[in-house]
Chain A
Amino acid sequence: MSVSYSGVTKSFGGRLVLDDISDIVNEGELTALLGPSGSGKSTLLRIIAGLTPLDSGRVSLAGRDVTNTPARDRHIGFCFQDYAPFRHLSLRENVAYGLKVQHVARAQRREQVDELLRLVRLEEFADQYPHQLSGGQRQRMALARALAIKPDVLLLDEPFAALDAQVRAELRSWVRTLQQEVGITTILVTHDQVEAMEIADRLVILNSGRIEQAGRPSFVYDHPATDFVASFLGPITSIGGISYRPHELEIVSLGDGAESATVSEVIRLGFEVRVVLAGDDGTSTWVQLTHDQAKHLNPGVGQRYGIRVRSSKASKDAPLSSNVDAPR
């Protein structure tokens, strides 16, 4: 089922959190609302769920206006960042909660809960209580509980933020698989651009309550519409006042029609090597080399090189955008 919202505006105590936001999420898609903290992305998710009232604007599910529909009648699955387990209920009772509300008969309820627990691979923990589960297990419980009512849309607020790195990576791809299996329209809030690019069909990048850009992850990465998007999605550097991704540049011997610069720092980060160079005009640029390229060139502090745009980049695309600051 598709989700659309238009002109969504919200302020808290005089501070504008969402400023006239509009977008459409297509049926079956996984959209990531990506932005720094305070960008309004969680508020937008809560507004779609009906948990936070909006000041103005409309929200529609499959073309049906739900702006004034309370959360309980929107038929939406919502997972909080802290998973909000019902602490006094067992895992099975947690998942069954929504079915009980709908007065599903006991036998049928049990069957559906068992099936959901299998889906999230928690069958053997059915009679345990939330505090006996790990963070990842609680997250899967929250997903099963949300999916139990067969919601039209699934909304996930920072679903992986509270997990450690390894579990996060596992769950990320698992959630992606599950979402495609169930085929449910999903909106996910995250501040992690790598996570968003890996999992989402589509990115919506928010900053200070406005949508900076929306589109396919690879397209947005290569064609950022604003300086903010360019720097938020990945590192950028500039040469001659024009912005590039550091891996789009290369260093070559002096001459060759390239800007000349002096190596000021070499940072080795395992596979990748960052070479920071000071241009003759005083600007700083950094170039990302692979381990092998660095080994071949062997740049040292104080040595002089030329910097130029890699031929593959120069011929195919325009630069990212102009007048962007040095890497953060």
Chain B
Amino acid sequence: MKRPSILLRSLVIVYVGALLALPLGFVFQQALSHGWGQFWIALHDHAMDLAIILSLKVVVLAVPLNVLFGVGVSMWIVRHPSPLSRFIDVIIDIPLAISPIIVGLILELAYAQNGWFGSAFAAAGLRIMFSYPAIVLASVFVSLPLVSRQVIPLLREVGDHQEQTAATLGAKPSRIFFTITMRSIAWAAAYGVTLTLARVLGEYGAVLIVSGNIALITQTLTLNIGANFESFNAYQGFVGALLLALVSVIVLVFIGVARHRLERKRHVSFV
């Protein structure tokens, strides 16, 4: 194979460097610019810590919800095709196609106190908007297709012969799902989980609108970083950004591993 020219290689390095490495390095440099002592103090900022806890609470609910929905809808679309499931298959990508701000506005329209469903919840004494449930709703919405888009092609490729063989061997549907189906799609689902995790942690626009961005109460880590920059507390913002960047790096490594495993699985021939 011909080696790429020095010019091409330098171009790629400069491009990636300018876009990715330099800004990321800048975040690290800024966050540590006042020394470790200041950094340690900044880590214990009350508003930021509450924001981290809220972000984690959102992840803990939104990611499993998305996995359940993603795997379930994939099984439905692939194993029990119908006009309705084909329709869902098409519209499931909408959250990726529309701007998060619009997602936020749609949710507000629907769940506000005087909104379509919001009034019903309000009558039951439940407040959805500007609270934890709204943030989870927005997070699930924007990451809706991330699991199923990974799982659907693999389910199609694996086919249903293994599942049907297990049935003739006497296995019940639940056993078939956990011993055969889940084993086939585990790495695809894991890849979807890491994508969801990254998206949920990083979501800004939709969450900004539905949460109300109330410091100490409905502010996620991403919102907290934004708020710090806006209130000229850039240093605190960089510390938050550093934490988020570190999580992203860890998630990226995970994605790399999952994708590698997935590709190896796909290279294994069927017959």
Contacts and interface: CB of A to CB of B under 8 A. Distances in A.
A98 B220 CA distance: 50
A174 interface: no
B29 interface: no
Contacts of B180: 86
Interface in A18-44: none
Instruction: Bin chain B's interface residue count.
Output: 20 to 34
Contact of A101 (B169, B183, B271): B169
A82 B179 CA distance: 20
Interface in B243-271: 268-271
A37 B165 CA distance: 22
A138 B271 contact: yes
Interface stretch (B61-69, B96-104, B170-178): B170-178
Interface of A: 49-51, 70-78, 80, 82-88, 97-98, 101-102, 131, 135, 138, 142, 145-146, 148-149, 162
A318 B162 CA distance: 49
B5 interface: no
B8 to A, nearest CB: 37
B165 A145 contact: yes
Nearest to B176: A72
Given A72-B171, A101-B169, A149-B170, A84 B161 contact: yes
A80 B165 contact: yes
A72 B167 contact: yes
A87 B184 contact: yes
Contact of A162 (B164, B169, B271): B271
B166 A78 contact: no
Contacts of B171: 72, 97, 101
Contacts of B183: 86, 88
Contacts of A138: 271
B161 A131 contact: no
A77 B168 contact: yes
Contacts, number: 73
Interface of B: 159, 161-162, 164-172, 175, 179-180, 183-184, 268-271
Contacts of B169: 72, 97-98, 101, 145-146, 148-149
A146 B172 CA distance: 16
A98 B162 contact: no
The 9 closest A-B pairs by CB, nearest first: A84-B161, A98-B169, A78-B168, A131-B268, A101-B170, A71-B167, A88-B183, A82-B271, A84-B165
- Name which of A49, A85, A101 has the most chain B CB atoms within 10 A of its CB: A101
Contacts of A76: 168
B271 A51 contact: no
Nearest to B271: A82
A82 B161 contact: yes
Contacts of B166: 86, 97, 101
Nearest to A138: B271
A148 B168 CA distance: 12
Given A72-B172, A101-B175, A131-B268, A84 B167 contact: no
Given A82-B161, A87-B162, A101-B175, A51 B167 contact: yes
Contacts of B168: 49-51, 71-72, 74, 76-78, 146
Contacts of A72: 167-172
A254 B112 CA distance: 102
23 contacts: A51-B164, A71-B167, A72-B167, A72-B169, A72-B170, A73-B170, A75-B170, A78-B164, A78-B168, A80-B161, A80-B164, A80-B165, A85-B162, A86-B162, A87-B268, A88-B184, A97-B166, A97-B179, A98-B170, A101-B175, A145-B165, A146-B168, A162-B271
B145 to A, nearest CB: 26
A244 to B, nearest CB: 41
Contacts of B172: 72
Contacts of B271: 82-83, 135, 138, 162
Nearest to A129: B268
A83 to B, nearest CB: 7
A131 B271 CA distance: 8
Contacts of A142: 165
Nearest to B268: A131
Contacts of A88: 183-184
A72 B172 CA distance: 7
B265 to A, nearest CB: 8
Given A87-B184, A131-B268, A162-B271, A102 B161 contact: no
A72 B170 CA distance: 4
Contact of A70 (B167, B175, B268, B270): B167
Given A97-B171, A146-B168, 18 more contacts: A51-B167, A71-B167, A76-B168, A78-B165, A78-B168, A80-B165, A82-B271, A83-B271, A84-B161, A84-B164, A86-B166, A87-B184, A87-B268, A88-B184, A98-B169, A131-B269, A145-B169, A149-B170
Contacts of B165: 78, 80, 84, 86, 142, 145
A187 to B, nearest CB: 13
B162 A84 contact: yes
Contacts of B170: 72-73, 75, 98, 101-102, 149
A88 B181 CA distance: 10
A87 to B, nearest CB: 7
Nearest to A73: B170
Contacts of A101: 166, 169-171, 175
A197 B187 CA distance: 46
